Every structure is written in C-alpha cells, then in structure tokens.
Amino acid sequence: GAGVSQSPRYKVAKRGQDVALRCDPISGHVSLFWYQQALGQGPEFLTYFQNEAQLDKSGLPSDRFFAERPEGSVSTLKIQRTQQEDSAVYLCASSFLAGYTGELFFGEGSRLTVL
C-alpha cells in the first residue's frame, strides 16, 4: 500500500484478555519497528525486525509481549493477559533499508484500552 497500515485502529480489552495488533508496512521495506506511546508521552521503542529476524526486543516491557514477522512483511504484536498499564497507542514504523538511520514511516497506530 501507499503507507504503513495498522489494524485495528481501536481495541478495547478486558483485563486478562489477549490482543493482537497488526502492522502492514510499506511494500519492500526491510526494517520494521514497534513503538508504544502512552497518553501525553513520546513513543518508546519496543522491538525491531530486519526482514523476518527480530534483532532487538530490548524494549518489550514483559514476557507478556510478543512480536513476530514470519515472512518479512506483515508483523503482529501480541499482548497476553492484558493489564491496565498496557493501555497506550501502539505505533508501527518501517524503513526501506536495513540499519538506515533515516526517515521512518509511521502508521496511525492502534489505540488499546484495557478496562
């Protein structure tokens, strides 16, 4: 597609439910990032993929968070047993080259609310 697409745009979950957030990056983009943005804060890094390889997951806050990109294109961020502190906007970003310290293209995010 023309840009980074994320779904769902909005998700309400009851505490303890599992959720899955999808990211469809720009076609051909090698690098894919997930960021978490709490209300009124800047985005915080979660994890990075280069093609299908997850090269950095140092930002994942707990083992309840899991991300995958099995074919090097679409990525899914899964959160198990959601907690209220997981409420945030989850942003996906992609870039054309590996290790490219330049422009990232962001999606509009998935807003997760945990009740």
Partner 1 sequence: AQKVTQAQTEISVVEKEDVTLDCVYETRDTTYYLFWYKQPPSGELVFLIRRNSFDEQNEISGRYSWNFQKSTSSFNFTITASQVVDSAVYFCALSEAGGTASKLTFGTGTRLQVTL
Q: Which residues bind partner 1 (CB under 8 A)?
A: 3, 31, 33, 35, 40-45, 48, 55-56, 89, 91, 93, 95, 99-109, 111
Smallest gap, in angstroms, from Cβ of residue 108 to partner 1? Answer: 5
45 near 55, Cβ under 8 Å?
A: no
Minimal CA–CA distance to 22: which of 107, 82, 115? Answer: 107
Smallest gap, in angstroms, from Cβ of residue 8 to partner 1? Answer: 13
Reported as type and span, the H/E element at residue 20 is strand 19-24
Number of H-type helices and E-type strands within the chain: 0, 11
Smallest gap, in angstroms, from Cβ of residue 70 to partner 1? Answer: 20
Report the residue number, 17 or 50, with the smaller CB distance to partner 1. 50
